[in-house]
């Protein structure tokens, strides 16, 4: 099983908006991904409720894990996403003014 440990970069942690972005990307991957933090059991990264329940705040270390042919690539991409400050980025579909 491939693993990556990464520090949460979003200013408010993996709360609503960053969690939604992360979970959406995790759900699109060709292999199932698990995420854990603080000694808690791993949960499916494609589950918004499970990811929110982790309570991973800014600066928390989370561990991603996956198995399969593309696990290394998938974990690299998702780890890079978590490390960014997703709160500071503009949404893909901005509301009209």
CB 89: neighbour CB atoms within 10 A? 12
Number of C-alpha atoms within 13 angstroms, CB side, residue 97?
Answer: 0
Quick check: is 93 catalytic?
Answer: no
Nearest one of 31, 43, 36 to 72, comparing CA atoms: 31
Give strand pairing partners of 4: 64
**Which position among 15, 34, 75, 86 bears the catalytic label?**
15
Catalytic residues: 15
């Amino acid at each position: 099983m491939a693993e990556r440990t990464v520090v949460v970069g979003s200013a408010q942690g993996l709360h609503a908006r960053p969690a939604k972005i992360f979970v959406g990307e995790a759900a699109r991957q060709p292999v199932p991904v698990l995420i854990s933090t603080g000694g808690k059991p791993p949960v499916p990264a494609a589950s918004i409720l499970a990811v929110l329940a982790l309570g991973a705040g800014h600066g928390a270390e989370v561990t991603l894990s996956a198995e399969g042919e593309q696990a290394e690539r998938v974990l690299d991409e998702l780890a890079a996403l978590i490390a960014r400050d997703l709160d500071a980025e503009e949404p893909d579909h901005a509301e009209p003014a």
